[in-house]
A and B are shown apart, each in its own frame.
Chain A
Amino acid sequence: MANSFDVIVLGGGPAGYVCAIRCAQLGLTAAVVEQEKLGGVCVNIGCIPTKALLHSAYVANLLREAKEFGIEAGDVKTDYGVAMKRSRRVSDQNSKGVEFLMKKNKITVVKGSGVLQPGKKVKVGSDVYEAKKAVVIATGSRVKGIPQIGLEINKTTVISSDEALLMERVPASLAIIGAGAVGMEFADIFNAFGVKVTVIEALPRILPLEDAEASETLSKSYRKRGIEVIAGAKVTKANVAKDKVTLDIEAGGEKKQVTAAAVLMAAGRAVNTENIGLKECGIQLTDRGFIKVDKNLQTSTPGYYAIGDVAGPPMLAHKGSREGVVVAEIVAGQKPHPIKYDNVPSVTYCHPEVASIGMTEDQCKEKKLDYVAGKFPFSANGRARGTGETEGFVKILRDKKYGEILGAHIVGAHASEMIHELTVARENEYTVEEVDLAIHAHPTMSEAVAEAALDSLGRVIHV
Chain B
Amino acid sequence: MATKVHMEALSPTMEEGRLVKWTKKEGDPVKSGETLAEVETDKAVMELVARADGQLLKVMVPEGTTVPVGNVVAYIGKAGEKVDGDGASAPAEKGSGEKGVVRSEPPKESRQPAVASSVPVAVAADATRVKASPLAKRLAKDAGVDLKLVQGSGPGGRVVKRDVEGAGSNASAPEPAATATRPLPTPHVPVRSGQPYEDVPLTQIRKTIAKRLALSIGPIPHFFLTTEIDMERAAEARDALNKQLGEAGGKISFNDIIIKAVALALVQHRACNAWFQEDHIRYWNEVHIGMAVAIEDGLITPVIRNADMKSLREIGAESRELAGRARNRRLKPEEYTGATFSVSNLGMFDIDQFTAVINPPEAGIVAIGSIVPKAVPEGNGVMVRRRLRLTMSCDHRVIDGATGAAFLKTLKQMLENPLAMLL
Contacts and interface: CB of A to CB of B under 8 A. Distances in A.
B155 A430 contact: no
B121 A431 contact: yes
A433 B133 contact: no
B160 interface: yes
B155 A337 contact: yes
B123 to A, nearest CB: 10
Interface in B243-293: none
Given A402-B139, A402-B142, A433 B155 contact: no
B138 A431 contact: yes
A101 B401 CA distance: 63
Contacts of A403: 121, 135, 138
Contacts of B155: 337
Contacts of A402: 135, 138-139, 142
A439 B136 CA distance: 23
The DSSP consensus for interface residues of chain A is loop
B160 to A, nearest CB: 6
Contacts of B135: 402-404, 429-431
A430 B139 contact: no
A372 to B, nearest CB: 15
B139 A433 contact: no
A2 interface: no
Nearest to A337: B155
Interface in A369-426: 401-404
B116 interface: no
Contacts of B402: none
B100 interface: no
Contacts of A337: 154-155
Contacts of B122: 433-434, 437
B120 interface: yes
A440 B64 CA distance: 55
B138 A428 contact: no
A429 B159 CA distance: 10
Given A403-B135, A404-B135, A428-B133, A433 B119 contact: yes
Most interface-central of A337, A401, A431, A437 (chain B CB within 10 A): A431
B27 interface: no
B120 A433 contact: yes
B229 to A, nearest CB: 32
B133 A430 contact: yes
A429 B138 CA distance: 11
A429 B121 contact: no
A431 B141 CA distance: 15
Contact of B119 (A428, A430, A437): A437
A173 B90 CA distance: 83
Contacts of A404: 135, 161
Interface string B101-120: 00000000000000000011
B161 A433 contact: no
B134 interface: yes
Contact of A429 (B119, B120, B142, B160): B160
Most interface-central of B122, B142, B160 (chain A CB within 10 A): B122
A403 B135 CA distance: 8
B278 to A, nearest CB: 14
Contacts of A431: 121, 134-135, 138
Contacts of A434: 122, 134
Interface in B113-163: 119-122, 133-136, 138-139, 142, 154-155, 160-161
A419 B63 CA distance: 55
Interface in A411-463: 428-431, 433-434, 437
Nearest to B123: A437
Contacts of B139: 402
Nearest to A403: B138
Contacts of B138: 402-403, 431
A404 B133 CA distance: 11
A50 to B, nearest CB: 34
Nearest to A405: B135
Nearest to B118: A459
Contacts of B133: 428-430
B121 A433 contact: yes
A277 B289 CA distance: 37
Interface in A161-181: none
Contacts of A437: 119, 122
B307 to A, nearest CB: 15
Nearest to A428: B133
A337 to B, nearest CB: 6
Contacts of A401: 142
A314 B47 CA distance: 43
B164 to A, nearest CB: 10
Nearest to A404: B135
A228 to B, nearest CB: 44
B26 to A, nearest CB: 35
A398 to B, nearest CB: 11
A428 B158 CA distance: 10
Contacts of A429: 133-136, 160-161
Interface string A180-194: 000000000000000
B246 to A, nearest CB: 24
A357 B139 CA distance: 22
Nearest to A434: B134
Most interface-central of B138, B155, B160, B161 (chain A CB within 10 A): B138
A362 B343 CA distance: 42
B107 to A, nearest CB: 25
Contacts of A433: 119-122, 134
A59 to B, nearest CB: 42
A434 B132 CA distance: 14
Contacts of A430: 133-135
Nearest to B132: A429
A103 B161 CA distance: 42
B114 to A, nearest CB: 15
Interface in B60-106: none
A188 to B, nearest CB: 37
B343 to A, nearest CB: 24
Most interface-central of B120, B134, B136, B155 (chain A CB within 10 A): B134
A429 B137 CA distance: 10
Interface of A: 337, 401-404, 428-431, 433-434, 437
27 contacts: A337-B155, A401-B142, A402-B138, A402-B139, A402-B142, A403-B135, A403-B138, A404-B135, A428-B133, A428-B134, A429-B133, A429-B134, A429-B135, A429-B136, A429-B160, A430-B133, A430-B135, A431-B121, A431-B135, A433-B119, A433-B120, A433-B121, A433-B122, A433-B134, A434-B122, A437-B119, A437-B122
Closest 9 CB pairs of A and B: A429-B133, A429-B135, A402-B138, A431-B134, A404-B135, A433-B122, A434-B134, A430-B134, A431-B135
Given A404-B161, A429-B135, A433-B121, 5 more contacts: A403-B121, A429-B136, A429-B160, A433-B134, A434-B134
